[in-house]
Every structure is written in C-alpha cells, then in structure tokens.
Amino acid sequence: MRLLIVLAALCIWPAFAQQADQETSILVDVNVVNVPVTVTDDEGRFIVDLTKDDFEVYEDGQRVDIRYFTESQDEANKPRIRVGFLVDLSNTARLYYKNYQESIGDLAFLMVPEDSLNEGFLIGYQTEVDLLVDYTRDPGTIADRMSKLKHGGGSSMVDAIFEACNNKLQSSPYLGVDEPRKVVVIVGDGHDNASKRSMEQAIFACQQQQVTVYAVSTEAFGFDVSEGKNLKDIAEATGGTVVFPMDNIHKDINGYLSKPQDAGNYQYEVGTGLYARAQLEALYTAVLSISGQVQSQYIVGYSPPTPFSDDTYRKLDIRVKLNTETKVSVFHRKGYFPPTGLPASGAND
C-alpha cells in the first residue's frame, strides 16, 4: 500500500509542478511599465492627495489604462529605491565641494533611511569613474565616504551616468510591477571634458533602464557654466529636476548702503557669518527638494500597447486633470526603451 501511494505521488508531481510554475509566472507580471510621477503646484509645493482617477496616461499618443496605482503618501506599498550618488571630483569642484559635504551626506540618510529596503551606492568621477561605495542599506557608510573625497583631474560625468545605469541599475531580471524605483543624484556643475560616451548615449541608458536623474548643481553664484545645461537636459528627459542652491543666496536690496560692495547691492557679504548661514540654509532646502521629489512620487503602472519585443523608443505623456483652477507641473520621464533583462519566456503573458 505504501508503495502504491508513493507511485501515485510521483505520477501527479509533474502536473503539480507545471501548475505551480504557471501560477508563479502569472504572479510575476513583467509586462508592465512603472512610471514614478511627481506633481507640484505653481509655487513648487508637492501635491500629495491625488487619486488614480486624476491621471491620464498616453504612450505614443494612445491612451492606456492604469493597471496599478500607488498613492503619493503610501510609501509602504511603493517599490523600493535603488539610488546612485554621483559626485564630481574634478579640479573645478575642489574649491566649493567642502560647502556641500555635510548636506549631501544628509541626502543619503533621507533617501536610504535605516531599516528600509532602499539601497544606494556612491560613484566619484574625475578623469576616470570610480565606484567608491557599492550597494549598501547603511546611509552612514555613504555619508562617511563623502566626507573623505579627494579631487583632481578632469570630469567624466557622462561616463559616470552611463556606467551607473548599465552596471549598477540594470534590471536582471526585469520585475515589471515590482521593478525598483531607480534614481541617480548628481552633485556637480555639469561640465564634462573626459567622457568617452556622448550625452545621447547616457540619456539612452537612463531611458532603457528606467532611471530618473536629479542634480544638485555646485555652480557658484555669478559663474556661468554653459555645460550646466547638461544637467537640465538629462533631468528633463528622465523626469527629474535640477536645483541650484547657490543662486538664491544673494538677495538684491533697494536700500542705501553706507559701505557699497564691489560685488553688488546684495544683502549678504561673502565671507561673513550671515553668508555662511545663508549657504547652509540654501543647501538644506536643496536636499529637501530632491528627497521630496522622490518621496512624493505617485507610481503609475500600465501595460504597453506594443509588446516589449519591439525595441523602439516610446513617448510618454502623463496628464493630471483637476476640477480646479490650480495649475500643476507633472514630472515624469518623457519616454523609454523596452527594458533589458526580460525572462526568456512568458515576458508578455
């Protein structure tokens, strides 16, 4: 009798295993595009109380149904965050980086909070690109390494973005609805004189790996760095933003100055305690702005009208419809390429 029971179990096991595999493939829904979306009002304040019905999603001009939606304040049910901090270590960054060290360390604690599933890594770029801290869930490790950086050489910012996307943020395998939110935060002024890749290649890598790029510009007040446009271009293409904390430190005043300043009619004089305090406040505001952009995201998921086997670029347009006169700005990536790292079969089931 015992032998008969064993034989019967062996006969039904292949069918049971096949059924289990089928059930598993259904649960892992990879034919989904996840789009993090941040919405602000005309004063830059985050709008965090919208619902699924307030959003419309279009891919290549065709409206698609929202299959998955996570509210802005429902952090517990959002996909985890994988963030790469890219810090400019070139010669041009040497003079002003000391003003940013502590604040950027705070950013690591905000985006990779302790006891969370979020994880981050640190890359320094100068003439070469160096991985300084590999993936960790300990923000203190990243912040401590940031405080000990050494500068010198040229700048390979574009290569750093490319390598962060393709070496550290690549999907393997792509998880569909469970795909982590992928973020790159650049701390630098946007100049590049040493990269082997082009900005177009870096943007392509971001769009293929579904990475959002944010930047804290280290451009000093009064300096016009034309390559700062690089930061704006890649942030806009990927749904991120750039903050320029040094731009708002000086405040023009209309009153009479008994001791006119050569630098101009400004409220704070460089080198004073008030100026240093204004710097710290501006940097703190910048850090809160970047972390707030990520923490205030809605997650919108949908099935693409064209299967992922088609590797052409798809344009995205996400609109917010409100029954008020409130003007809103919607931040999301402008498009994407089908993800790499798809399962060998069942990817579009």
pLDDT at 253 over 80: no
**Full DSSP string of 132-171:** EEEEES-HHHHHHHHTT----S---HHHHHHHIIIIIS--
What is the rounded CA–CA span in Å between residue 228 and residue 23? 50
Structure-model confidence comparison of residues 260 and 225, the more confident one: 225
Average pLDDT over residues 57-66: 98
Structure-model confidence comparison of residues 106 and 270, the more confident one: 106
Name residues whose C-beta falls within 8 Å of residue 39's C-beta, 6 or more positions apart in sequence.
46, 47, 50, 72, 296, 298, 320, 328, 329, 330, 331
Average pLDDT over residues 187-206: 94
| DSSP-derived pairing of the beta strands 242-243 and 211-217 | parallel
How large a percentage of the chain has pLDDT more than 70? 77
Average pLDDT over residues 340-346: 62
Q: What are phi and psi of 228, to 5 degrees?
A: -60, -20
Q: Is the pTM of this model over 0.85?
A: no
CATH topology of domain 79-295: Rossmann fold (3.40.50)
Cα 305 to its chain centre, rounded Å, is: 25
pLDDT at 221 over 80: no
pLDDT at 348 over 80: no
What is the rounded CA–CA span in Å between residue 176 and residue 30? 4
Cis before 245 (ω within 30): no
How large a percentage of the chain has pLDDT more than 90? 56
**What is the per-residue pLDDT for 49?**
95
Q: How confident is the model at residue 220 (pLDDT cuts 50, 70, 90)?
A: low
What is the rounded CA–CA span in Å between residue 30 and residue 320? 26
Q: Report which of 170, 185, 47 is spatially closest to residue 111, judged by C-alpha positions.
A: 185
3-state percent helix, strand, coil for the chain, nearest multiple of 5: 35, 25, 40
- Listed by start position, the domains of the chain span 32-78+297-349, 79-295
What is the rounded CA–CA span in Å between residue 46 and residue 328? 9
Provide the H-helix boundaries in 154-299: 157-163, 199-209, 228-238, 273-295
pLDDT at 326 over 80: yes
Q: How confident is the model at residue 226 (pLDDT cuts 50, 70, 90)?
A: low
Using DSSP's 3-state secondary structure scheme, residue 121 falls into strand
What is the rounded CA–CA span in Å between residue 86 and residue 24? 37
Q: Which two tokens stand for residue 107?
A: 């950013």
pLDDT at 111 over 80: yes
**What is the per-residue pLDDT for 262?**
45
Q: Which two tokens stand for residue 112?
A: 């990779």
Cα 1 to its chain centre, rounded Å, is: 62
Check: CB of residue 255 under 8 Å from CB of residue 221. Answer: no
Which of 84-88, 243-247, 267-271 is modeled with the greatest confidence?
Answer: 84-88
Structure-model confidence comparison of residues 287 and 40, the more confident one: 40
What is the rounded CA–CA span in Å between residue 141 and residue 139? 5
What is the rounded CA–CA span in Å between residue 37 and residue 277? 33
The predicted-structure confidence for 171-180, as pLDDT tens digits, reads as follows 878 998 899 9
Q: Which two tokens stand for residue 225?
A: 């760095």
Average pLDDT over residues 32-45: 94
**What is the per-residue pLDDT for 83?**
98
Q: What are phi and psi of 207, to 5 degrees?
A: -70, -35
Which of 34-38, 217-221, 322-326 is modeled with the greatest confidence?
Answer: 34-38
pLDDT at 293 over 50: yes
Strand order in the sheet with 314-320: 62-64, 55-59, 314-320, 335-336
Q: How confident is the model at residue 324 (pLDDT cuts 50, 70, 90)?
A: confident
Average pLDDT over residues 318-338: 91
Residues in the chain: 349
Check: CB of residue 283 under 8 Å from CB of residue 56. Answer: no
Determine which of 4-13, 252-261, 293-302 has the lowest per-residue pLDDT on average.
4-13
Task: Return the number of other C-beta atoms located less than 10 Å from residue 290's C-beta.
Answer: 23
Q: How confident is the model at residue 20 (pLDDT cuts 50, 70, 90)?
A: very low
In order of 46, 180, 208, 281, 322, the CA distances from 298 in angstroms are: 11, 13, 20, 28, 16
